[in-house]
Structure 1
Amino acid sequence: MKSWKLVIAGVAVSLVMSSASYAAKTDLVLGIVLEPPHLDPTAGAAAAIDEIVYANIFEGLTRIGPKGDVLPALAESWTQSEDGKVYTFKLHKDVKFHDGTAFDADDVKFSLDRARGNTSTNAQKGLFAAIDTVDVVDPSTVRVTLKQPSGDFLYNMGWGDAVIVAPESAGTNKDKPVGTGPFKFNSWAKGSQIVIAKNPDYWGKPALLDKATFRVIPDPAAATAALLAGDVQAFPVFPSYESIPQFQADPRFKVVIGTTEGETVLGMNNKKPPFDNPKVRQAVARAIDRKSLIDGAMFGFGMPIGSFFPPHHPAYIDLTAETAYDPELAKKLIAEAGHPDGFKTTLKLPPPTYARRGGEIIAAELREIGIEAEIIPVEWAQWLDQVFKNKDYDMTIVSHTEPNDLNIFSRDDYYFNYDSPAFKDLIKQIDATSNGAERTGLYQQAQKLLAKDVPAAFLFQLPKTGIWDAKIKGLWENGPIQANDLTAVKWLD
């Protein structure tokens, strides 16, 4: 009898352990390279913010789906006036913020007026420039009137910068984000990890995960070790490109090489000598061998670009020949610009692998045409403050992962300091045009103008190198927007 009891007890223990193991599979640990400076997407430019909170914690009127399409979010539907200037949004009812406060049309008006106001700290304030008025029709209806028709308006409302926040919690969202999404903020161990948990009171389709932990692992070797050990089960953007073949050969993992909106550029301060001279910028661009750069810094992952536009977009044109590698021409341009013996400059590099490794390669190539670039490594917070905010730099390398962001070169206060009335006019025309063929033509004119003026040296399109446990389903394969959307992620049985 005792032996039978031991067998039964053993089965019971086994069942309990199996059940606990199955329960653990509603948790997920994801690796991320950069820790966000804070968690308020309406008050910061860092992509790392949206990589945590977009679609998980915060939601907008619309959202961008995994294929780059505009989908309903807090707005269940909308109508547009015949003249294209008035949008009327019908909002979902019975929606609550994570702190229990009710969501309604007043929150939409507050959020949009706040984002476009004079005191706005929104990093993408231009998204809201077309808005003339925001009116509350009733608690579940909002009417937005534009100054002129905008073909990108619904798309713009799907950015992380356009999420809806509540006046009660807007001031503390940097450290304790309160949204309406399927996950709630749980905890943040600075320098280590951010934890979000399932929102049991979510208004829509509930999340399939109970908890997700975003673990900060900036070192490529540590990222590889964490995945192999199972300490991290997914790395949506894996930083160790040289290790990818190892995971491709391991059936425990799924490796997905997708596309992103990340135009990687060598930014130059267009108002700071000698980079205020177009010939100098053209010389810099001609000194860079993009194939060697992609092979050396990205281990072959990445696609060369000749302007600021994603190759997967239907309006893309290949302009790489405009600034193709030609060191002799680069030397000639440098001499014509008044620097026959070259010059000294600085190159500030943020932490991502593409920047640090790419910077070493580019500095060596610039040296061949007489430009001595002192490499200055900076942390992400330093880069945001020194380069992006205060424009205290000569050159830098960064990937711009925001979607449909060609218009950044039309902004007077953007860190490139590029000032082209012709380009600004093209952007205005694009924004006011809804006809597909006409927009394509304008987009192509804008690409050609940037390729000619070279406000930055356009390097390559950043790939989305995703690696995760083969039993995980629902992570995005491509990156049409800077996000780790976990709303449909689950573990397979």
Structure 2
Amino acid sequence: MQRSTRPRRLIATLAIGGALSLVAAACGGGGEGEEGGGGLIVGTTDTVNTLDPAKCYNYYCSNILFNVGETLVSYDPKTSELAPKLAAEMPEISDDGKTYTFKLRDGVTFHDGSEMTSEDVKFSLERANWMTHPEGAGFLLDGIESIETPDPLTAVIQLAEPDITFGSKLAYATATIVPSDKYPAPEEKLPADADPASYEEYVHEDLVGTGPYRIEDFRENQSITLAAYDKYWGTKPKSQNVLVQFFEKSSQMQAALQSGEIDVAFRHLTTEQRESLQGNENIKTVEGAGASIRYLVFNPRLKPIDDPNVRKAIAAAVDRQRIIDDVFGGAGEPLYTMVPPDFEGSEPAFQEAYQGKKPSDFVNGKVKLTLWYSTDHYGDTEPALAQTIARTLEESGSFDVTLKSTEWAQFSEEAYPGKSGQYPVFLLGWYPDYLDVDDYLAPFYHSTSSFLRMYDNPKMDQLIDEEISAEDPEAQSRLQTFGEIQQLAAEDVPTLPLFVETPYAFVQSNVQGVDGTMGPEQIFRYYLMSKASG
């Protein structure tokens, strides 16, 4: 099975102090250690809101799942190509593209010691999809019509319609395989408008996976401790223990790295902090491939965004390069479509539509806008990002912008989806669920499969349905359809792409393996990292 349309090129507090001290004893601190032994301490300003695959849909909870759990297929860190994981080989796909037959690896065990079988595969995929948790990504599995298990090592997945991206979707964290006798699950698919309590009834936070690490300790908003699973079926992880330390402020993370309290700092440092670390001879800078994007979302149900000319005026006013330079010190790339430019099929439709245009070409007088952003989800640069966007809009003379913010828990509940959305304009970020152009289009533009559920254009739905049902992921006709989708998005402006993020990791000089896990799939594989002795 081929992976669709891949990138054209790859670039290659007291509580905190206490947690660091605790793990320093288990992991060997930020000092020396032999490769394959000892441990590693990774710092981040991200948060983990859940460890349940059916509820997880943010970067860091997904990243924990990728290190503790596993999926049928995953991305090879050397090539970024799809490869078997819990599957013994890539699936056999029927001629009509609707039946995927997976042969499973024999002898794989969960962290509780039980054996993984095809029943666990069926249970896990149905559970994630049937829970339809509003914070999760179970919708990625909506195409599944049925799953059969003819024997313990065979799973046959039947799709309702052909989906060229289905194999790639199975590589995302929501498809993590969990033991069927440990997790609760509904007996049928929950309605999308169910009472919130009905979703939470089935959430299970004690993660049991098959991956190279198991969860040893989880202290919410403080730390997660991972220990190597001694019965892991695959290659043993290079570090015996990993401590993921959550920092409230990026300045705390920077100080911890400089003092040697942590080994790795990853997501999110300010420009000044990044430049300071780049000048430190004891710290290495590792630059990754840009596949994560930032963008504005417009809710056309709310004034004044219900007027398409207002959305077009905003598109004409935003200065992307200024945002990158002023807020991120030049680290990033302007984005003129939701699809990053390193993907074949990316077309700068917004540049073509709005280059040389002024907001006054679309609106008269001054439009009052309210722009919302989250205070605790995208790092310490988020206020500066919102302020810079507001400033560029106001300097055009066509807008009067009010900035509002709230914590992510409230933000994600109020901003979307659909009719429940209360914010006319708001900032979001996106990292890929699967490496295909479709993953930067359908989740935003399709009326039923979008997680936003704010945009409804039958022509757009038709185009997306066409590219998903293509027989060849690299077909020229599919690339042409991608172009039509991006052109239509530039006309309707349901979202406004801003820039592609350049990911950086900063590591102690004796840390190895980080540069081998900074590909476009955005999976930070702890099991490939270690500290060299010396």
2:87 pairs with one of 65, 75, 97: 75
- TM-score norm. by structure 2 comes to 0.82
Judged with a 3 Å threshold, the aligned counterparts in structure 2 of structure 1 residues 440 and 423 are, in CA distance, closer, same or farther, namely same
Q: Contact 2:375 / 2:407 at 8 angstroms: preserved in 1? A: yes
How much has 1:490 moved relative to structure 2? 1.9
1:410 pairs with one of 441, 446, 454: 446
1:392 aligns with 2:422: yes
How much has 1:121 moved relative to structure 2? 5.4
Judged with a 3 Å threshold, the aligned counterparts in structure 2 of structure 1 residues 194 and 366 are, in CA distance, closer, same or farther, namely same
- Whichever residue aligns with residue 168 of structure 1, its letter is D
Q: Contact 2:32 / 2:532 at 8 angstroms: preserved in 1? A: no
1:367 aligns with 2:394: yes
Residues paired across the two proteins, number: 469
More displaced stretch, 39-48 vs 172-181? 172-181
In structure 1, what is the Cα distance between the partners aligned to 2:276 and 2:238? 30
2:88 partner SS: strand
2:174 pairs with one of 150, 155, 161: 161
Question: Which residue pairs with 2:363 in the alignment?
Answer: 334
1:426-468: CA deviation from partner (whole Å, max 9, x where unpaired): 1111111132122222222222221222112210011111211
How much has 1:38 moved relative to structure 2? 1.2
More displaced stretch, 353-362 vs 68-77? 353-362
In structure 2, what is the Cα distance between the partners aligned to 1:117 and 1:383? 25
Extract unaligned runs of 5+ from structure 2: 1-27, 185-201
In structure 1, what is the Cα distance between the partners aligned to 2:52 and 2:484? 35
How much has 1:210 moved relative to structure 2? 1.3
How much has 1:477 moved relative to structure 2? 4.9
Judged with a 3 Å threshold, the aligned counterparts in structure 2 of structure 1 residues 126 and 277 are, in CA distance, closer, same or farther, namely same
In structure 1, what is the Cα distance between the partners aligned to 2:59 and 2:169? 16
Question: Which residue pairs with 1:41 in the alignment?
Answer: 53
In structure 2, what is the Cα distance between the partners aligned to 1:30 and 1:373? 38
- Whichever residue aligns with residue 407 of structure 1, its letter is A
More displaced stretch, 412-421 vs 270-279? 412-421
How much has 1:332 moved relative to structure 2? 3.4
- TM-score norm. by structure 1 comes to 0.89
1:9-39: CA deviation from partner (whole Å, max 9, x where unpaired): xxxxxxxx9xx95369621111122211111
In structure 1, what is the Cα distance between the partners aligned to 2:131 and 2:241? 38
Question: Which residue pairs with 2:485 in the alignment?
Answer: 446
Question: Which residue pairs with 1:215 in the alignment?
Answer: 245
- Whichever residue aligns with residue 71 of structure 2, its letter is G
1:463 partner SS: coil
Question: Which residue pairs with 1:429 in the alignment?
Answer: 466
In structure 2, what is the Cα distance between the partners aligned to 1:331 and 1:345? 19
More displaced stretch, 209-218 vs 467-476? 467-476
In structure 2, what is the Cα distance between the partners aligned to 1:358 and 1:309? 21
1:144 partner SS: strand
In structure 1, what is the Cα distance between the partners aligned to 2:482 and 2:381? 27
1:96 aligns with 2:109: yes
Q: Percent of aligned positions with the same letter in both sequences?
A: 25
2:71 partner SS: coil
How much has 1:194 moved relative to structure 2? 1.3
1:147 aligns with 2:188: no
Question: Which residue pairs with 1:478 in the alignment?
Answer: 518
1:236 pairs with one of 266, 280, 299: 266
Judged with a 3 Å threshold, the aligned counterparts in structure 2 of structure 1 residues 416 and 130 are, in CA distance, closer, same or farther, namely closer
Judged with a 3 Å threshold, the aligned counterparts in structure 2 of structure 1 residues 22 and 48 are, in CA distance, closer, same or farther, namely closer
More displaced stretch, 42-51 vs 316-325? 316-325
How much has 1:374 moved relative to structure 2? 2.2
1:52 aligns with 2:71: no
How much has 1:304 moved relative to structure 2? 0.5
More displaced stretch, 242-251 vs 130-139? 242-251
More displaced stretch, 213-222 vs 85-94? 213-222
Q: Contact 2:53 / 2:128 at 8 angstroms: preserved in 1? A: no
Q: Contact 1:60 / 1:158 at 8 angstroms: preserved in 2? A: yes
How much has 1:64 moved relative to structure 2? 2.3
- Whichever residue aligns with residue 469 of structure 1, its letter is Q
Larger Rg: 1
Aligned Cα root-mean-square deviation (Å)? 2.4
1:381 aligns with 2:372: no
1:365 partner SS: helix
Q: Contact 1:289 / 1:325 at 8 angstroms: preserved in 2? A: no
1:183 aligns with 2:219: no
Question: Which residue pairs with 1:11 in the alignment?
Answer: none
Question: Which residue pairs with 2:22 in the alignment?
Answer: none
In structure 1, what is the Cα distance between the partners aligned to 2:333 and 2:39? 35
